[in-house]
Amino acid sequence: MSRLVWDLPVRVMHWALALATAGAWLTQNLEGDWFRWHSWCGYAVLVLVLTRIAWGFVGTRHARFTAFVRGPRAALRYLRGLVRGDAPAHAGHNPLGAWMVVVLLALLLVQAVTGLFANDQIMNTGPLFGYVTGARSDALSRLHASLVNWILAAVLLHVLAVFAYLAGKRTDLITPMFTGRKSEAAVPPQEAIRASRTWLALLIAALIAGALAWLVSHAPEATLSLF
């Protein structure tokens, strides 16, 4: 028997975020009309990250930040436990993994927001480019270009950690990110969640996507010749 830990929105958001981030990375240097794909992937990242952050406040038990974000001391204690081989099991994120979740979400948020104002000095601009001066856009573009290296490093570390659990601790964290379920032994009954509340996540995502669409469609026209 197994118990539900990750609600459906957490799972869908996770894999969609991984795909959209990979998509934004792969489309970074496309020219002309093709650049649209980069924007679409970036918009998807932005909507997903903002929805996940909102879900961290109103989502189900293990999705909430209060359920898994712990101070550095708890993370260090957990790390020491990992090294000694007696780290306690956690139904949701462990205190160390929690930091990775926060770092990934923060990096992706800044990356997507800077993209909205970025320009490539030739023809591609983010949709909100018209709101800022050329110099400010250039600075945000530089941040957009360099932050991506930190994102790559964080994703690599994240995936390595997940596989280290599989190989070193014989703990499969990946299957539960698809099914939402962990074994009874790993989840005390009072820690299982009952339902996903998917409709609420859909509503939040729709509101955020609507706000972004409004913002983009009402932005001043972006003309690179301005500077």
What is the binding site for ligand HEM (CB under 6 A)? Answer: 10, 13-14, 17-18, 21-22, 24-25, 28, 38-39, 42-43, 45-46, 52, 63, 93, 97, 101, 104-105, 108, 111-112, 115-116, 118-120, 124-127, 141, 144-145, 148, 151, 155, 158-159, 162, 173-174, 177
Closest CB 207 distance from ligand HEM, rounded Å: 18
Q: Angle, nearest 10°, between helix axes 35-58 and 95-117?
A: 140
Residue whose CB is less far from ligand HEM, 158 or 207: 158
Task: List the end-to-end C-alpha distance of the chain, in Å, as a whole number.
Answer: 64
Residue whose CB is less far from ligand HEM, 112 or 193: 112
- The Cα 188–Cα 127 span in angstroms is 48
Residue whose CB is less far from ligand HEM, 37 or 207: 37
Pick the closest to residue 174 from 33, 36, 6 (CA basis): 6
Residue whose CB is less far from ligand HEM, 150 or 206: 150
For tokens 């609600």, name the residue: 7
**For the CA atoms of 19, 21, 24, 25, what is the dihedral angle to 10 degrees?**
-110
Closest CB 88 distance from ligand HEM, rounded Å: 14
Closest CB 66 distance from ligand HEM, rounded Å: 13
- Under 8 Å between Cβ of 5 and 193: yes
